[in-house]
Amino acid sequence: MSITTKSYVNNHLSIDKQRSIFGALFDSLNGYEFSLKDKKELNLESDRSYAYGEIAFDGFKEILDVINTSEEIEFMDLGSGLGKALVLASLILPCKRLVGVERLPSLAAKSKDVLNQYCNDVKESYPDVEVPTVSIVQDVFDSISFNTVDVLFASATCFSDNVVDSITSRVHELKVGAYLIMFTRQITSNHLECIYKGSHKMVWGLPTVYIYRRKS
């Protein structure tokens, strides 16, 4: 993370405007339908690691408010779905880069459309602000580096032990001071310090949220 003198859209929006932008992008979309279609085609219906669940605006904003950084960041979502967490991170935090990792092709494709629309809308409405670069990677988590990430998010409630172990084995890649947000599943690592634990309402339930920070 670096102190920024750049102006990002999060500095220009009231909570009502943030909520309005978020709703306009996602209210008409059904991520569960995209997910079900892809899992059938890829024969992944029995793999709980691909269970689909969405963040809620208020609940996830509360989590991001815990981080509350004024430094420009790269935000990554492991299992990014339609891109809800990516958009909300950009509305709340000064995001210079958004990275979504999503294996399911229909979700990955739709999220690219949504993020492109979001960035174009921001450029049009706020021409003087910095717009984040966006990368949607249609692949498994192991395919992408954590080296440049400032805030890493994993909605890990249904992740298998193998997936959680894989994430755990790679947290040393995170920069000192980087954050890891985990839903439900805890991470045990000498490289991390748990700085927050709480419960926050999502569309699908009330997960326990753990926020870790990479130690020096």
HEC per residue, the chain: CEECCCCEHHHHCCHHHHHHHHHHHHCCCCHHHHHHHHHHHCCCCCCHHHCCCCCCHHHHHHHHHHHCCCEEEEEEEECCCCCHHHHHHHHHCCEEEEEEECCCHHHHHHHHHHHHHHHHHHHHHCCCCECCEEEEECCCHHHCCCCCCCEEEECCCCCCHHHHHHHHCCHHHCCCCCEEEEECCCCCCCCEEEEEEEECCCCCCCCEEEEEEECC
Split at pLDDT 50, 70, 90, the class of 212 is very high
Tens digits of residue pLDDT in 69-99:
889 999 999 999 999 999 999 999 999 999 9
Closest CA to 59 of 201, 207, 182: 201
Q: What percent of the chain has pLDDT over 70?
A: 98
Quick one: average pLDDT of 28-57? 89
- Locate the domains of the chain by residue range: 9-214
Query: Which CATH superfamily includes the segment(s) 9-214?
Result: Vaccinia Virus protein VP39 (3.40.50.150)
Quick one: average pLDDT of 197-203? 97
Split at pLDDT 50, 70, 90, the class of 49 is confident
Does the pLDDT value for residue 65 go beyond 60? yes
- pLDDT at position 1 is 56
What is the distance between the alpha carbons of residues 163 and 155, in angstroms, rounded to a whole number? Answer: 12
Quick one: average pLDDT of 39-68? 91
- pLDDT at position 214 is 98
- pLDDT at position 48 is 81
- pLDDT at position 185 is 96
- pLDDT at position 121 is 96
Quick one: average pLDDT of 53-65? 96
